[in-house]
Amino acid sequence: MKRITLQVLALLSATVLFAGCSGFVASNQPRFREVLLQGEGRDKILMIDIWGPISNEPLFVPQLGLIPGMTARIRQELEIAYADPLIRGVMLRINSPGGTITDSDIIYHSLMEFKKSKRVKIVASLGDLAASGAVYVAMAADEVYAHPTTLTGSIGVIMPHMDYSGLMKKLGIKVDPVTSGRFKDIDSPYRPRTDEETAMLKKIVDQFHEKFIKVIETGRAKMTSEQVREIADGRLLTADEAKERGLIDGIGYLDFVYNRISEISGFPENRLIRYTNVWITGNNIYSNTFPIELIGN
């Protein structure tokens, strides 16, 4: 069955936990690089990017190797940050149409466990697009802000399906699979779904949708369940609409969000940093296992 996704399709062309794990550090001696973005002082605010589709699919770079997927990369950044006593807060910079429900949930869970165990604040800044699974991830933040031109929302779950049966009939192509049960090919693109199959899959989608709603209710404590459900129908919202409905705390640029995390972290004098080369710090529980790895790693 295809993966269930939380994303805007029209805009797209371990169990080790932090909680209770004192001394939790990256599995290998890190070889990452810390990049200063702005500010000065001893204490640090870490900026983490949620950029592009939310997935743990690795990216192959010729002559370099496989760069781990987003889920593994964010876990690695959090492990590095957990081991650094000078990290005082996290700023999420989100620009994403969403992604798979599982990876969205893993990243959300990792951020929540990190925040709880590290006892730091997280603030999210929504960029050009922060939809569906990106909203799910943003709910781990203590405060959420959007750029004036942000599109957000699309709160919902989709299970994609295509039916090629009409075309195959015209071409004289017949598919006759042998299955162990009548629902084994429930997601087959070679025949229409039955009403019974559609009802079965709709039940699954609705269950995941309810989970999504609960995550938003937890993250936006000032919103009532009715207010969340009013906008949990897949609609996109402008920044102004999201602010009016309570999905975000305010509208502002990155500088404003950095000042805000500096304020609520309790460390107004700090350095805003990001990590680079985190994919050569070693493996973590969400790292992909492939026969090809980074050259020299």
Residue at 286 is within a domain: no
| 213 within domain boundaries | yes
Q: Has residue 285 been placed in a domain?
A: no
Count of domains in the chain? Answer: 1
Known catalytic membership, residue 132: yes
Considering 184, 202, 211, 214, which one is annotated as catalytic?
184
| Residue 164, domain member (yes or no) | yes
* Residue ranges in the chain assigned as alpha helix (H): 70-82, 101-118, 133-138, 165-171, 195-219, 225-231, 239-245, 254-265
Query: Is 106 within a domain?
Result: yes
* Catalytic residue of the set 104, 110, 125, 132: 132
Q: Is residue 33 part of a domain?
A: yes
The tens place of each residue's pLDDT in the chain, 297 residues long, gives 456 666 554 333 333 333 333 334 444 445 778 999 999 999 999 999 999 999 998 877 776 667 778 999 999 999 999 999 999 999 999 999 999 999 999 999 999 999 999 999 999 999 999 999 999 999 999 999 999 999 999 999 998 889 988 998 898 998 888 989 988 989 899 889 999 999 999 999 999 999 999 999 999 999 999 999 999 999 999 999 999 999 999 999 999 999 999 999 999 999 999 998 876 656 777 776 554 444 454
Residue 288 lies in a domain: no
Count of other CB atoms within 10 angstroms of residue 244: 11
Question: CATH number of the domain that 40 lies in?
Answer: 3.90.226.10
Tell me which residue of 230, 211, 244, 240 sits closest to 6, measured CA to CA.
211
User: Can you give the length of the chain in residues?
Assistant: 297
Q: Is position 265 annotated as part of the catalytic site?
A: no
Residue 290 resides in a domain = no
The range of the structural domain enclosing residue 184 comes to: 5-12+22-278
Q: How far apart are CA 265 and CA 247, in angstroms?
A: 22
**What is the pLDDT at residue 246?**
97
